[in-house]
Structure formats: structure tokens, C-alpha cells
A and B are shown apart, each in its own frame.
Chain A
Amino acid sequence: MIDSRFDTTVTTTCGYCGVGCRLEARVRDDAVVSIAPALDGPANEGHTCLKGRFAHRFSRHRERLTTPLIREGHGFRRASWEEAVALVAERLGAIRAADGPDAIAGLASSRATNEDCYAMQRLMRAAIGTNNIDNCSRVCHSPTSFSLRKAFGLSGATGSFADIDRADALIVLGANPTEAHPVAGARIKQAALRGLRLVTIDPRRIELADYGVLHLSPRPGTNAAVLHGIAHVLVRDGLIDEAFLAERTEGFGEAAAVSAGYTPEAVEEISGVPAADVEAAARIYGEAREASIAWGLGVTEHRHGSDVVRLICNIALMTGKVGRPGSALLPMRGQNNVQGSSDMGALPDTFTAYRSVGDEAVARSFEAAWGVELPRERGMKIPEMFDAAVEGRLKAMYIFGEDVAQTDPNTAHVVAALESLDFLVCQDIFETETTKYADVILPASSFLEKSGTFTNAERRIQLVAPAITPPGEARTDFDILLTVSRALGHDMGFETPEDAMREIAALTPDFAGVTYERLGRAGLQWPVAPDGTDAKILYEREFSLPGGRGRLAALPYKEPGDAADADFPLILVTGRRLQHYNAGTMTRRTANLDLFAEDFLEIHPEDAERLWIGDGELVSVRSRVGRIEIPAKVTDRIEPGHVFTAFHFPEVRTNLLVGASADVHTSCPEYKVVAVDVRPMPEVPAERPVLAQV
């Protein structure tokens, strides 16, 4: 039916979380007036959440960047595109000439399209000549990517959200889907009410715990011990799939030998989870015909997050619960395109589809396509970039669609790094904490204003279509990156994002069959064969490793990087609120702010009483590296000894508290274990948080 209220209705893909809802954006007078879920969206099946549906007004917010800005004194002045691009090319060119290409680094955005990210890494590699390119999956799911590749071969979910409906049991570990991935959370809740045996493992009693059959509350940083305990019981009680282990895996003996040391009683000692609950969790998972595991940043954002992902893979391999409908491993990707930005090679060590920059054949194929010579050594990861900037080795950064000064840990260090740079380009849709340090700000476009593709948490590549035009003189990210690259002397030869996807498909076997036409309304889950056949389920017959066998890992539990002590007696865990999204750049500019206006620190009644903290009272939270002030919320959703808050609000700047501790393999920050001291605030609250004295 034609609805005369709207000029057009455009089907696109949501730009918030990694679920990848397909949306219908209803447009009038070049503004989105309403968004409805697409009934045929494979991941959302006609549903979406308050972010996808309602939080679109930021796109026409008066604070949108509408012209390029160039630093002038302590402020910025408006500039033309010609001037801004010329300045970027000139300064980057000069730094490259003086200090070499590796004095420049770029960050791609997990919020942007695959084509944008592809163009960004090509800009850095081909136009600048460096592998110093990374993206914000570094600070969220890099351990997942790393460990899935080690255990199975490919960096992505082994199945789809639909597997939740087919599973008999599901473990949700270190994730709070009903807030962070609401549509997937709703799906899990419905499945649990239908009889799915749901086990939740989280220091907080998340909402889904109310619908599950078992909830475990391990001390932050002890996930590995719990998984070992589960593995121990699986082996001890014969709940393993011996035929699968024999035919399709390697490393079981060594892995089992390590787990043998983790009796449920020993795990109770380490994690605080009652031994009987560890036994019960193992039985629920092991005895289910089909069982899946979903996890989030509560697994990865730890000192040993990569190990925990391997241990998740271990129990799936031990029980043969992978590669079948209903038996899937589902990392809950945080951002709309955190999967795709890494797939596209916006990483310091890999080209598209995680092929090493040191792989001669692969590198040559890109050299041939791009007509340049490419470096073979890996570039810097994000934390290394900041270290190098502070040390003076890194002179310039091109940051695209990220607010590192708010979202990255050890904020004081990040700010010091940004201040140390000779030249900083930010490409964004709003001024942010990070753009304060920029020399040039390029006004870009939101997901509602661009075309391209996003890849969701189930590896599904889905089309993004522009519903409205970018405001003022703002341009699409793709267009900006092409223009800058051309100004630097490297013409990518693309007209449209679709051209970029043709090149990606031509240069990437796992994307060989991807065309926009084939993506259609439902998208395709990579790997996509040349004939367009996609993969709902990975590893049905063999793993994507040499020899085709999945690899179990023998990794003992290791203590987290931080621990409570006499000075910092509580453990802070950070996470997301339903109403907001990451840095809040978008959601805080919508009426979602009306629904959730001010963050709070969740604290258990016992701790609150002991510390003389009343519900709603302002408290001071101090860690080893910083201090913030925030109101308290007394709730028994959190275990005693722990506190929780989110990181959406610049007024709070939670990440001031998070130190440098990070995953040993991937440098993913340990956002989830920060020892803090919480005290009531007797004095008049400060207007702004106090920056840390490092």
C-alpha cells in the first residue's frame, strides 16, 4: 500500500549493534520520520529495538558537522573541501617524506560500511604506504577473532541467530543481550520461555537469568576457571563426543589434562561459583542434543580474554557441538560492522579475510590490483599507536568514525597521545572528545546517508542504502576517502561502493560470489562461493585449518590483570545500557536521552550499607589510574564486591578508570576488571570529572 505520509521508504540495515536488523526507513522532505523493521530481515524477523527504530533523529541534529573544519588557535574555522583535503594531503605527504610512512596511522570505523573500511585500509596501505591501520574491534572482539581463527580457522560465528531457535540448550557468557543486542536478547528470551535450557554466566544477574534454568556469577576475570570446570565435568562424566574428537579434532589429550586439574570444588575456590552449579552447567550443556554458546565482551575484554574464547571452543569441540543447526558459537558483536571492518583488512596484520600482510602471494595480488608496492611487516595496533605517539615515533593519525578519547581505556594516556601528534585528521559526523585534538575535521555521513554493506555478527553481509542526503556539505565517508587518496596521489578508480565490493570479491576468495544483486533483501553469510552459495553454518564437514581438524587448546586459568585489594576493594565491570550506544554520540542526541538521562553506578545493598551509600547519592569512584563521580544505584542485580556502570556519557568518562591492562594476545583492554574504591561524596559535586594524575 502506498502510504502518502512518506515520500519514500528505503530498506536498509541498522547502524547500531551487531545483530544487523533490516529496517524500512520512511522519509519525508529528506528527513527520516520513522523506521520500521523489515518483515523479511533474517536476523530480526520483523522486530527491532528502541535504538534501531527510534534513535534516528541524530541524523538531522543541529550539531551535525556540515562543513570541513580547520584548527585555528584554540578553535576551528570553517573551510572548503578543497582547502581541507589539500591541507590533509600536504601535511600527511610532508610527514611521510620526513619521517616515513610508518609515522602515520589510521583507524577505520566499525560503524562504517565494508566499502568504507576497505577504502580506509587501502588509503593507509596504498596511498600512505603503511600497515598502521586498525579498527575498534581491537577494543572489543579482537580476542574472539584471534581465538576462533586458532581453533576453527575462520573469524566469525559458526552459525546464525536462528540456531538459538533450534538449540536445546544455550550458554550466554559475559553478555547482556537484552540490553546490548536487544533483538537477539528478545529471541533468546522467547526461546527460553519455549523450553530452551538457558544458562547465564555473568557477574551481574542479567535479565535473561530470570528466564534461564541456571545462573552463575563468577568473580570478574575467572571465566576461564568456570569453563575448565565445565570441561572437567564433561570429560569426567563421559559427556564428550569421542568419535568427533577422534575424527575432527586435535589436542584433546593436552586440553583434557589441563582441565583435569579444575575440579568443580577447585573452580568454586577460584571463581566463587558453587561447585554444584558448575556440575549442573556442564550437564545441561553436555546432555543437550544441540547446544550453542553466545558470548560478549564479558569474555574478551580481559587480560586473558583470548584464552577464554579458546576454552569456549574447547568445550564445543569436546562435545562435537559445532557445525550443526542448533549447535553454534555466536560471538555477540558489539557494533554494526565490527565483523566487517576486520573482514575488510582494517587490521595491522591482515588484508581482507584475515590473510597475512606477510603472505607473499596475497600481498602480490593486492600490489597488482593497486599498482603499488606494499609493506610486508605488520603495523601498529591501537594501543601501540598511542604509545608511539607519546614517544614521538608516530606523528600523524587519521581517525575515522571513532571517539578514542571517550571509549578507549586509560583515557589520560590517549589524550596525551593525541596531544603529542603533529597532525590529526578526524572524519566524523559530530564533534567528539577526540575531535577536540584534531587539526582537520572532515564532515561525514551516518548510515542513513550512505550506500554499501554491513556484516553482522552472523557473518551476514547486508546492503545499506541511503535514505536521506548528508546534511550541508557533509559527504559520504567513501567519497571523502577516495578524494583524500586521490589527493595523496593514489586514485582507487572507484565510482561507487559497489565498485569497491567488486574489487573485494575479485581479490578475496571468501567473498568471491558477493554481488549487490545477490545480496538482495536477505544478504549472504560469508564465505560466499563464486556461484553465490553462502554459509549459514561453518565447519559442517571440516574445519578451515590445515588438515581440517579443530584444535583444542591447553591453557591454564590465569589471574586477571587487576584484583581487589585493601586500597581498591571493589571490582568495577563496565557495559552497555539498553537506551544508549557506545560513545553515545548518536543516542545522546535523540530522545533516548529522555529515557535514560544520567548514568549510575550499580552497587549491591550490602556494599552500599557498609560504605554508607544511599540509593541515588553521588559517589566517588577511584581506580589506580583515575577517578570519576557518579550517582549510585543500590540493586541486588549485582553481586557483593562488584560495581557496574556504562561508558556512554562524556559527563562520566568511565574509561578514565580503566588502566593499561589488556589481552596478552590482541591488546584488547581489560574493561571488565578494574579494582576501584567507592566512597560517598560529602562535598559539592564537581562539574566535570577530575582527570587522572598519572
Chain B
Amino acid sequence: MTAAPGGAIIEPVSKNLVELIRRHHAEEAPTALEVLKEAMDARGVITDDDRRVAAERSGLPEAAVYGVSTFYDDLLQPRGRRHIRVCTGTACFAATGDAHVDALRDGLGLELGERSEDGATSLAETVCLGFCHASPAVRDGDTIDAGPGVVERILADAARSAHEPPPRSVLGEPVLTVPGGWRGLARARAELTPEALLEAVEAANVRGRGGAGFPAGTKWRFTANAPGEERFVVANGDEGDPGSYIDKVLMEGNPALLLEGMALAGHAIGARHGFVLTRSEYPLSKPALEAAAAAARAEGWLGDTFDVTVVEGAGSYVVGEETALLACLQGLRGTVSARPPFPAERGVHGQPTVVNNVETLCNIPFVAERGADAYRALSPGATPGSKLVCFNERFARPGVYEVRFGTTMRELCEDVAGGLVDGRAIKALQIGGPLGGILPADKLDTPFDFDELAAEGCMVGHGGIVAFDDTTDMRALAKHLLHFGAAESCGKCFPCRIGLRRAHELFADGAPVPRESLEALLETLELGSLCAHGSGMPAPIRSLLAHWPEELGLG
């Protein structure tokens, strides 16, 4: 009961719930979240009977199942026979200033999260569908439509699947945009001991591509050394950053590369099983990965030595944070937990677990096949390896590109993406997701790399680059970002749970925003929050305060 002084054990999530799940997992039970998702898919709404069934099948107590059922967007927004999800991501905002949302609301006569009384139609908000190259995007059933005329087509019940351009590479020899060939795993299994592979990844200094830039080798070393009955590899495919669709392209366009990277991680740390957590906003990711896994099993790359299970999330941005991701993977509420303990010590089922971003793992086959030196040579004088970036619809040539670290933002925006459409000028860029600062146009000569962007209050993040053109209302942008921040707060730590709501309220109506109290609130979020969601959300607001104070309506 009481942790004796000196023996305090900090638990990532309820150890009892994890134990109950583990005991049921031994019986191949589905998670509570999986059962609830099935119920939602089948009937469009979750009843207490569904929750009881989920409790029975998953081994979770009924109350805990109730908690899960009230956490995820997918379980909360009732579905009609025709379920329409409108993207409210930042790229869609940059394209329309949210006019597409209002048009759909008006056209359908439904509020966000509402289902028509006859159950025919429902409208839900979703962030984000990953069609940022063709914003605005709307999902009608399983069809994702995007681009000019989308609202009219939806209202006419004539949705069509939007085109997705293939990723391109500026490298002479592309690393991430060519199909995986299992050559890295073949070499590792034939020639590399786990220790040799680990050393190669450490020497390559593969930095995490999911946001924090933490060296993958260090994570792996911790996990390999942590005591445990078994070990797991988890690919974080919860690319929730609005404006980013890089991992989507990897999971759906090059799934074998990810599976190979996971198998290599398993080889290095001694794991026999891996999980990919995909987003439900990307409905094609899970089938693509499962098909690739089936093919890999048939070819002997996956199977007894290492195998992969694909799990789909249910709509929560914060689940991209690794402790929340592990909670979601086990079917629990996707709330963040204090670290330590890191997943390297206590992850899936309380066992040592490597959690890496999808793109990070996709870098590993190259390292395994060609070695650390070749990898480091990809971006001379900068962070090793290459990086995928993606551009939003405001650019003339939007899409996913493989680039070198150290390239300036100007080269990326002008040479790679072709500048903005319609002759518009860049007013600002948000790089790396909603927790990244906003770079004004006069700072476009900043190189694209971790330290250089950090110096400008920005970050590499996921590599999503969202341009705001010269018509953008910066106060509306602040409100948009804070709406997202407040809506996606997991509700665990107090600063984020209440503070983001208050920050949004400051901008919600037209009232002047008192600068002093806004800044005190931002400081509380930055210094007090448990995870990067709360501590990062102030970054773009700080940028707006620094560069466009006159547009914010400060009082």
C-alpha cells in the first residue's frame, strides 16, 4: 500500500490495470479500446452494454472501460449512416480560415459532433486527415476528398478520393522514398550481432524524427539493458501534428521499410514482438501495414523471430506522446504519465520497450545495410541522415520530399516547393507541428536543423511545413491553435487541462487580450506542464507575440 520512504516506485500507468490487461493478453484478448471501436463501427454509438462486453472481453474493470469510452474522439462523436468528418487541421485553416467548416455545418444543418435525428447523417471534427497538400479535406465514410470544390461535392453526396502525390527525394540516392528491400535485415541477421547493430545505430546518431530528436541508439541501449521478462518494439505512427503527413506516406506507401526497421530494432534489443500504432484518421495505414506484414511473413522476414501487430488508435493527438501511446496501445485512456520510468524500463505490459517514430525506424535499414559512416554522409556537416518534410496546399508544389538537414528554409520553400500559389507571399511558417514556433518570412534563411530552428523558437518536429500567406489573420491563427490545444489536452496535468482552456478563452471572443496575464499563463504552461503538449503550445503564441503583437488585439 504505502510506498515506504526510500522505496518509492513511480508507475507509468495503473500497474493494476496493466496487470489485469497482461493476464487477459495471455488469453489473446482484445483490448477494451478495440472492442469499443468495433461497437462504434457497427452501431455508430456506444452503449453501456457495449462497455460491459468490452470489460468482459478485455479484462478491464467496467469503470475503466467507461473512462476509455469517454476519452477518444472516435468514440465520442455519434455516427449516422453517413458519417462526415471535416478536417480542422492547421493546413486546412491556412487554406480557408476554417470557412470550409462553416460551409459544411450550414450545408448539412449539423453542428460538429451532431447526428441528425433520423440517424442518416452525422458531422464530426477531425484533426487531421493528412491531405494537407490539397486542403481543405473532408472524409465521407471511408472516402477522403480534398481540394477546391470539396464542400460542394460532399453536400451533393458526390465525394471522390483525393489524389496523393508520391514522395520525391532531392538526394542523389534516396533513402526513404524508395521501397524497402529487407537488405538491412538480411545483413543484420547474417553478419551483425545485436551489439554490433546497436553500436552502428549509436555511431550513426539517428535522432528521433518524431519531435524531440532523442538519439535512437541511446533509447535502444537503455531498453536492451533494462531488466524484464520480455522486450517490445513500438512504432509510433500516431502522426497527429496537423500539417504533417510524412508517416502516413511511409506507412501507406512504404510499409515494408517500417517493418524492416522494427525487425532491426527487435534484433538489436532482443525483442520478439513489435506493435505499430496507426491513426484512425489514416484509414489506409493499418491495412497497408498488415498486407506488408503478411507478405513479409510469407517471405520469412517476419514470423517466429520477430513479428508485428498493427493497432489503430481512436482519435487523440496526445496519444502521439510515448507514454500516452503505450496506454492507448493497451486499450487504456491515452493520458500522459510522468517519466521516469521511461518506456525503456516500463512499456508494454510493464516490460522494457523501445518506442520510436515511424520515420526514425525507416532510417534503420539504411544504417544496417550501409553502416554509420554512409548514413552520416547523407547530410554533411549537419544532423546525420536525411529528413522527410512535407508542404501544405499553399505551396506551388506541395507534397512529401526527402531533403538534407541543414538546407535553409528558403531553399526548401522556394526551390523544393516552388513558393506559394497564386503569387501570394509567405507571411509565416509553422514547422514541425502545433507545438513548434512560427517563423516569420524574414527568417527564411534559417537552416532546417534542430539547433538552428530552436534558436528561433521553432523546431524540426515531424517535419511538416505549413505556410501562412499574407492574408492570414494572426489572431485567428492564435485562436485556431489554442482551440486545438485545449480540445486535445488529455486532462491529466492541471496547467494544460485548465490553462489551455483559459488561453483559448482569452482569444475566443473579440475582447482585448491582456498581455501580462497571457504571458503569465504561457509561463505556467511552459514550466508546469507534464508533457510537450502543454509546454509546447505556448511556443507559436510566443512567436505571434514577438512578431505580430499588433495583430493580436492585445489590451
**A interface list, Cβ under 8 A from B:** 45-47, 187, 190, 193-194
Contact = CB atoms under 8 A, between A and B. Distances in A.
A193 B1 contact: no
- Which of B1, B2, B19, B20: most chain A Cβ within 10 A? B1
A46 B1 contact: yes
Contacts of A193: 15-16, 19-20
Contacts of A46: 1-2
Interface residues of B, number: 6
Contacts of B2: 45-46
Given A46-B2, A194-B15, 10 more contacts: A45-B1, A46-B1, A47-B1, A187-B1, A190-B1, A190-B16, A193-B15, A193-B16, A193-B19, A194-B19
Nearest to B17: A193
B52 to A, nearest CB: 16
Query: Top 3 A-B pairs ranked by shortest CB distance?
Result: A45-B1, A193-B16, A193-B19
B22 to A, nearest CB: 10
Contacts of A45: 1-2
B245 to A, nearest CB: 42
Nearest to A45: B1
A45 B15 CA distance: 20
Nearest to B14: A193
Contacts of A47: 1
B21 to A, nearest CB: 12
A74 to B, nearest CB: 53
- Which of A46, A193, A194: most chain B Cβ within 10 A? A193
A86 B37 CA distance: 77
Nearest to A46: B2
A150 B19 CA distance: 41
14 contacts: A45-B1, A45-B2, A46-B1, A46-B2, A47-B1, A187-B1, A190-B1, A190-B16, A193-B15, A193-B16, A193-B19, A193-B20, A194-B15, A194-B19
A194 B20 CA distance: 10
Interface string B160-202: 0000000000000000000000000000000000000000000
Contacts of A194: 15, 19
Nearest to B1: A45
A535 to B, nearest CB: 21
Interface string B231-243: 0000000000000
A282 B2 CA distance: 31
B29 to A, nearest CB: 15
A416 B16 CA distance: 53
B198 to A, nearest CB: 30
A345 to B, nearest CB: 35
Contacts of B15: 193-194
Contacts of B1: 45-47, 187, 190
Nearest to A183: B1
Interface string B83-97: 000000000000000
Interface string B6-46: 00000000011001100000000000000000000000000
A193 B19 CA distance: 7
A45 B2 CA distance: 7
B348 to A, nearest CB: 17
A190 B16 CA distance: 8
Contacts of A190: 1, 16
A46 B20 CA distance: 25
A375 B16 CA distance: 58
A211 to B, nearest CB: 9
Contacts of B20: 193
B4 to A, nearest CB: 10
A225 B398 CA distance: 78
Nearest to B2: A45
Interface string B121-136: 0000000000000000
B417 to A, nearest CB: 54
Nearest to B18: A193
Nearest to B20: A193
A387 B425 CA distance: 106
A354 B1 CA distance: 35
A612 B454 CA distance: 77
Nearest to B16: A193
A511 B145 CA distance: 84
Nearest to A39: B2
Contacts of A187: 1
Contacts of B16: 190, 193
A305 to B, nearest CB: 32
A244 B32 CA distance: 49
A187 B19 CA distance: 16
Interface string B196-217: 0000000000000000000000
A168 to B, nearest CB: 16
A587 B16 CA distance: 31
A190 B2 CA distance: 11
Nearest to A40: B2
A46 B1 CA distance: 9
Nearest to B19: A193
A47 B16 CA distance: 18
A115 to B, nearest CB: 31
A187 B1 CA distance: 7
Nearest to A186: B1
A194 B19 CA distance: 8
A45 B20 CA distance: 24
A24 B377 CA distance: 70
